[in-house]
Amino acid sequence: LATALNDRGQIKYFRVEFAAAMEDYTAAIECQPAFEVPYYNRGLVLYRLGCFDEAMKDFRKVLELNPQFEDAALSLKQAILDKEEKQKRGY
């Protein structure tokens, strides 16, 4: 079920239906908390929305569950850099 919810979230993500995608990713997480992929996907949506702190929390959770998840490590680094840049500009 968690995989199906995650996959449905992906379809919504590609349709730029971010709120609906996040609902599916969150449901997948609630269904299977040790499944790292929906945390990563939800983190990507949060990142795109500029919610860097929340995105970083999800990326860190992915790495806690799977330290070898390279895309999550890269996304975490990018979110940190973008947050710092946003703060420098005073946003």
Average pLDDT of the chain is 97
**Average pLDDT for 43-52:** 97
Q: By the 8 A CB rule, do 25 and 9 touch?
A: yes
**Average pLDDT for 35-51:** 97
pLDDT, greater one: 88 or 21: 21
Angle (CA) 65 33 69, round 5°: 25
| Domain 1-89 of CATH type 1.25.40.10 | yes
**Average pLDDT for 26-44:** 98
**Average pLDDT for 46-57:** 97
pLDDT, tens digit, for every residue of 11-33? 999 999 999 999 999 999 999 99
Q: Where are the domains of the chain?
A: 1-89
Residue 91 pLDDT > 80: no
